[in-house]
Amino acid sequence: MILQCLGNFSSELSMLNFGMNNFKGSIPGTFAEGNKLRNLNLNGNQLEGQLPRNLANGKMLQVLDLGNNKINDSFPEWLPAFPDLQVFVLRSNRFHGLIGYPEGNISPFPKLRFIDI
């Protein structure tokens, strides 16, 4: 399991790569306000549950790779909180609902280069 206190380090870390480790449980919900994470890779584990909303506490995220887990949640409409997001991977999870954003938000990801859902 990923310890829940791990998110406490997000105020100092710029990259967190736990990909391909077969972790189980949920994603920690302790991401600090104004955290400095630029790259979060949790791909290839067995993480489940919902995405913690406080992941959006940091605005610097450029790579978000949550693919190949068991996350069961609606499509995260709060992701435009990351204006610098360039790589976005949600493949092989259990996301549901509409993929979209509020009207008037034509380009929520102006720097997006790769999306895999």
Q: Which residues contact 23 (CB under 8 A, 6 or more apart)?
A: 1, 2, 42, 45, 46, 47
- In tens, the pLDDT along 28-85 reads 888 888 888 999 999 999 999 999 998 888 889 999 999 999 999 998 878 778 889 9
Which sequence spans correspond to the domains of the chain?
1-97+107-116
Q: What is the pTM of this model?
A: 0.89
- What fold does the segment set 1-97+107-116 form as a domain? 3.80.10
Distance between CA atoms of residues 62 and 50, nearest Å: 21
